[in-house]
């Protein structure tokens, strides 16, 4: 009543007619009576206002017994999240209106706390008194407060699996959730979004990325001077950087060989507009989509070209090739996109701002992209220093960050920390780099966080009109009693412990996905692993990451079995010698989907026959021997896959060679030479014995794969060559018999030189040559060493090998051995160091070389804390169509882990395991004998071994 009297007094002071005063008095009295009739506990907020002599009545309510409290929570899920949902100017308006605003302290927030304090906010940690708690991104589940109103981007409307625990907790705590993403107008357009600033930041980022990609392709461009969006204090600074780059473009400083640059923007919303706004800082010309083809070929290099793509530009009905917008909205499944035919071939950079709806056509599929990435033939007169682009489509900035959406192969977002990756459509793989084959991808899902202050103010302007009605309700009240506007009501995902009717479909989506996952879980894959030696660790470690894979491991080594089954889950041990229990092996093979044999190569034909009989796939790391090749027809008839040569050497050496050879052929180059040397060695500091060697994998395998390949007289060991490509390692190399057999599989019949060999430290070959002279590498059966024969000492065995009567005095035997070694003191030193002239018993074995292998395993193990290393060097000589020559060098150096896997185990085990997983997952479907010489096999494996830390480098030397 006092308020009404004050209002009347004010009107009398103003120039009013009697009629005006009476009308407005009755109006104010009506308002006062209306107030008195409201339910107890309510009052009117901003009930009256004077505008040009008129009274305006606002139906806004609040609790009169306390102020309504709003809280702005701290963003704590992502380190880059520096935004807030409201800026200080919005807080100031709220406090003027009588609301209390709490702001959780945060040093990460881009807008300083003191600005919020100036606006009237209170900085405090405890926000429990707030009725509405707002943020940008989701809060952690343990920070939720029961029965409150929350507003944030929840990312739950597609039943996103990662956020379902959050939704469950919201329902359990009876929280009312407003999701900004679903605040839309009557046309379905979002009214609260950061869209424009996602477009601005995304455009800045991809211009920066293009600078890096062009550089990787051999071109310096003005884009190199544009940084990532977050490197600028504000968008004005970024605009200036883009303008500076544009100025250089306008001066004609873009490399001519890259041709005119074209940018395609999809969508007409705020995202696309924001990107176009930044793009306009360049010297640009917008053209119609149908004009792209012409400008991409003959456009002005002093400008860049842009086009805005709408649905009618690329969508057509399957039956008649027409586009009907009304029909499309009803039946999107009846349409296809011609983007990959009409637009993409003439696009340098795609800026994608559209989301994909189920059943609607995608903008780009993997198959579409494979065709777009076919290398362009070099034009006549092209120079090495001024290369042409490998293909037109260089980059995609997917601002929508809609994984598996309109860009089908964008299955994982990039991050502000690692903003770019390359997508190789041929291999269907991505790698974190701006180099290599494929399309540069940028798909950051929190782009506006890179320009946090402007994004906050922009978003707050859009959100502010709806804050009051969300604030004036209590989360514990029934939803149906709230007088929300349609925009706000339609954004309520959950309330009072249940999903609202509009969003109950989320539970159905979850149930269908869980059912599919349950079905998938029920289809477990069973792997039989034969052998528990050095290499088995990485194989088990890799495969057991997939909880759907059950592994049975078979070995004669009981202690190793026990250790492995304790260390890895889903592993069942079987203590058995597979070569002596044929029926049991066959039974085991039959129960599994795939067999991995880590046994000596001589056992593989035996295992392969069991796989053929039971139609089970097989993977080995060993050479595809003649005995295995004889099974080719049987393998094909059984319809199974048998993969060989999937380790290090053979294995990674093939893959690295073929990657280089295939890329050379793509540009028309001819291979004129190929050499590859590889060796497993102790790290230099642990090469402290006459052989300069220790065993990081099966000694029998080392001897069988190197020593017994040496013909009588050790001719190959006489071909030892110093290897000085790593001078500090003091290496030597010797050839692996006839390497010319790889000319045809590699497709390099034009090569004049083809050599594969083994690396060792200098001195190894000389010492091994002594063993050759003494007959210690004889693989033939030797009954005197069988387990049933009387024990034999090394001294006694050596007497037999050098042809003197046993027992002999030590000095007599030594002199005979020295004579047999042709008076070579270093070879004698190696024999003595190994104790081969002493009284130690020779291990029981089928052959002398087998006994030597067992003995060397005991004498030359890696000690605690010692590590091994792998060194591989491949050199490929190329002749290009222009006539110039190029030498490609591929280096692989891997060290073992002191407390983990050896380098040998990693470089053999991981490729083997990856190949096995590819067979299980249907990535390798070829039947018959397979070795990793095709891109669809070696491509994914090389990518995945890099993820396991097996890194290689390449470099080139161009010769005129």
Q: Who's near 501: CB < 8 A, 6+ residues apart? A: none
Is residue 563 packed enough to be buried (19+ CB in 10 Å), middle (13-18) or exposed (0-12)? middle
- Residue 649 annotated as catalytic: yes
**Residue 552 — φ and ψ, nearest 5°?**
-110, 125
Cis omega (within 30 of 0) for bond into 164: no
Q: Which of 368, 445, 550, 649 is catalytic?
A: 649
Give SS3 for 108: coil
- Dist CA 475 CA 479 (whole Å): 8
How many contiguous H segments (helices) and E segments (strands) does the chain have?
Answer: 31, 36
- Which residues, 6+ apart, have CB-to-CB distance to 267 below 8 Å? 309, 352, 353, 354
- 307, β-bridge pairs: 264
For residue 891, which of 939, 944, 833, 956 has the smallest C-alpha distance?
Answer: 956
946 phi-psi bin (left φ>0, alpha ψ -120 to 50, beta other): alpha
d(CA 367, CA 390): 18
The tokens describing 642, both together, are 């048998």
Q: Return phi, psi of residue 872, to 5°.
A: -135, 135
Helices 764-774 + 794-802 axis angle, to 10 = 70
User: Distance between the two ends of the chain, CA-based, in angstroms?
Assistant: 99
Rounded Cα gap, residues 149 and 494, in angstroms: 10
Read off φ and ψ for residue 888, nearest 5 degrees. Answer: -100, 130
Note whether 105 and 123 are within 8 A (CB).
yes
Residue 534, CA distances (Å) to 55, 276, 554, 865, 898 in order: 88, 57, 14, 16, 14
> Which strand (E) or helix (H) includes residue 236?
helix 235-250
Both tokens assigned to 54? 């008129």
Instruction: Using alpha carbons, select from 909, 895, 951 the residue that is nearest to residue 543.
Output: 909
Q: What is the DSSP string of 805-858?
A: -SS--HHHHHHHHHHHTTT-HHHHHHHHHTTTTSSPBPPP-SBHHHHHHHHHHH
Nearest to residue 913, comparing CAs of 550, 541, 592, 615?
A: 541
Helices 195-216 and 270-279, packing angle to 10 deg: 50
Nearest 10 degrees: CA dihedral of 459, 460, 464, 467? Answer: 90
Largest separation between any pair of C-alpha atoms in the chain: 143
Nearest to 870 by CA among 834, 910, 833: 910
**Contact 851/842 with Cβ under 8 angstroms?**
yes
Using the structure block, give the residue that is written with the tokens 């030189």.
753
Q: How many other CB atoms sit within 10 Å of the CB of residue 457?
A: 18
Q: Cα–Cα distances in Å, from 460 out to 46, 86, 136, 218, 583?
A: 21, 4, 11, 44, 74
* Distance in angstroms (rounded) separating the CA atoms of residues 507 and 505: 5
Residue with tokens 């306008």: 250
Residues identified as active-site:
649
């Amino acid at each position: 009543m006092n308020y009404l009297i004050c209002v009347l007094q004010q009107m009398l002071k103003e120039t009013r007619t009697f009629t005006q005063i009476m009308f407005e008095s009755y109006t104010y009295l009506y308002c006062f009576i209306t107030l008195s009739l409201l339910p107890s506990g309510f009052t009117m907020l901003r009930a009256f206002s004077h505008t040009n002599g008129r009274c305006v009545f606002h139906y806004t309510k609040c609790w009169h017994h306390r102020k309504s409290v709003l809280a702005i929570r701290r963003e704590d899920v992502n380190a880059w999240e520096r935004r807030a949902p409201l800026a200080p100017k919005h807080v100031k308006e709220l406090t003027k209106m009588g609301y209390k605003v709490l702001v959780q302290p945060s040093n990460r927030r881009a807008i300083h706390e003191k600005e919020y304090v100036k606006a009237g906010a209170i900085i405090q940690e405890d926000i429990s008194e707030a009725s509405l708690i707002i943020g940008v991104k989701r809060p952690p589940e343990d920070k939720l407060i029961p029965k409150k109103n929350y507003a944030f981007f929840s990312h739950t409307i597609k039943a996103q699996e990662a956020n379902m625990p959050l939704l469950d907790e919201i329902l359990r705590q009876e929280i009312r959730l407003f999701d900004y993403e679903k605040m839309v107008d009557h046309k379905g357009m979002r009214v609260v979004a950061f869209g424009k600033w996602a477009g601005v930041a995304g455009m800045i980022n991809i211009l920066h990325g293009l600078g890096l990609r062009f550089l990787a392709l051999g071109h310096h461009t003005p884009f190199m001077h544009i940084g990532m969006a977050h490197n600028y204090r504000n968008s004005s600074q970024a605009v200036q950087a883009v303008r500076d780059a544009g100025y250089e473009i306008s001066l004609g400083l873009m490399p001519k060989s890259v041709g005119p640059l074209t940018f395609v923007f999809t969508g007409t919303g705020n995202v696309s507009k924001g990107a176009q706004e930044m793009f306009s800082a360049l010297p640009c010309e917008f053209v119609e989509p149908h004009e792209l083809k012409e400008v991409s070929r003959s456009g002005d290099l002093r400008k860049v070209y842009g086009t805005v793509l709408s649905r009618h530009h690329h969508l057509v009905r399957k039956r008649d090739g027409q586009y009907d917008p009304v029909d499309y909205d009803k039946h999107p499944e009846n349409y296809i996109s011609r983007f990959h035919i009409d637009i993409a071939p003439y696009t340098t950079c795609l800026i994608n701002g559209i989301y994909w709806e189920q059943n609607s056509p995608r903008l780009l599929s993997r198959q579409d992209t494979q065709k777009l990435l076919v290398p362009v033939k070099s034009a006549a007169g092209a120079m090495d220093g001024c290369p042409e682009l490998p293909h037109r489509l260089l980059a995609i900035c997917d601002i929508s960050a809609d994984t598996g959406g309109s860009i089908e192969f964008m299955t994982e977002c990039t991050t502000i920390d690692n903003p770019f990756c390359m997508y190789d459509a041929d291999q269907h793989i991505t790698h974190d780099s701006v180099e290599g084959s494929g399309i540069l991808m940028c798909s950051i899902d929190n782009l506006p966080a890179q320009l946090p202050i402007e994004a906050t103010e922009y978003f707050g302007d859009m959100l502010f009109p709806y804050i009051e009605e969300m604030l004036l309700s209590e989360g514990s009240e029934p939803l149906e009693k709230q007088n929300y506007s349609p925009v706000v009501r339609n954004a309520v995902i959950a309330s009072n412990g249940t999903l609202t009717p509009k969003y109950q479909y989320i539970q159905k989506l979850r149930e269908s996905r869980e059912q599919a996952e349950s079905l998938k879980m029920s289809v477990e894959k069973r792997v039989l692993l034969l052998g528990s030696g050095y290499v088995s660790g990485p194989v088990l470690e890799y495969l057991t990451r997939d909880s759907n894979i059950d592994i049975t491991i078979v070995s004669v080594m009981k202690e190793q079995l026990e250790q492995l089954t304790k260390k890895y889950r889903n592993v069942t041990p079987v203590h058995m010698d597979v070569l002596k229990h044929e029926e049991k092996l066959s039974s085991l093979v039959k129960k599994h989907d795939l067999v991995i044999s880590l046994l000596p190569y001589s056992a593989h034909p035996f295992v392969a026959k069991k796989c053929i009989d039971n139609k089970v796939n097989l993977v080995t790391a060993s050479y595809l021997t003649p005995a295995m090749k004889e099974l080719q027809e049987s393998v094909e008839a059984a319809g199974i896959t048998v993969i060989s040569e999937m380790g290090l050497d053979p294995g990674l050496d093939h893959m690295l060679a073929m990657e280089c050879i295939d890329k050379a052929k793509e540009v028309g180059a001819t291979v004129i030479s190929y050499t590859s040397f590889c060796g497993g060695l102790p790290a230099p500091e642990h090469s402290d014995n006459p052989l300069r060697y220790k065993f990081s994998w099966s000694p029998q395998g080392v001897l069988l794969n190197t020593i017994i390949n040496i013909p009588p007289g050790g001719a190959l060991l006489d071909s030892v060559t110093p290897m000085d490509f790593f001078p500090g390692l003091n290496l030597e190399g010797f050839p692996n018999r006839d390497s010319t057999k790889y000319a045809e599989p590699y497709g390099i019949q034009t090569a004049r030189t083809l050599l594969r060999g083994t690396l060792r430290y200098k001195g190894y070959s000389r010492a091994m040559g002594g063993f050759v002279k003494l007959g210690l590498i004889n693989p033939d059966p030797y009954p005197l060493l069988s387990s049933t024969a009387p024990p034999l000492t090394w001294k006694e065995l050596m007497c037999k090998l050098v042809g003197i009567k046993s027992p002999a005095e030590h000095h007599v035997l030594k002199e005979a051995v020295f004579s047999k070694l042709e008076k070579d003191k270093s070879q004698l030193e190696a024999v003595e160091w190994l104790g081969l002239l002493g009284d130690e018993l020779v291990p029981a074995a089928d052959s002398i070389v087998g006994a030597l292998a067992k003995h060397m395993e005991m004498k030359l193990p890696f000690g605690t804390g010692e590590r091994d290393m792998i060194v591989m060097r491949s050199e490929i000589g190329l002749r290009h169509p222009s006539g110039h020559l190029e030498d490609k060098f591929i280096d692989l150096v891997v060290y073992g882990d002191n407390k983990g896997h050896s380098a040998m185990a990693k470089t053999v085990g991981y490729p083997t395991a990856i190949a096995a997983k590819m067979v299980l997952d249907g990535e390798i479907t070829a039947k018959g004998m397979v070795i990793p010489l095709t891109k669809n096999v070696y491509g994914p494996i090389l990518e995945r071994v890099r993820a396991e830390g097996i890194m290689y480098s390449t470099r080139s030397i161009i010769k005129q």
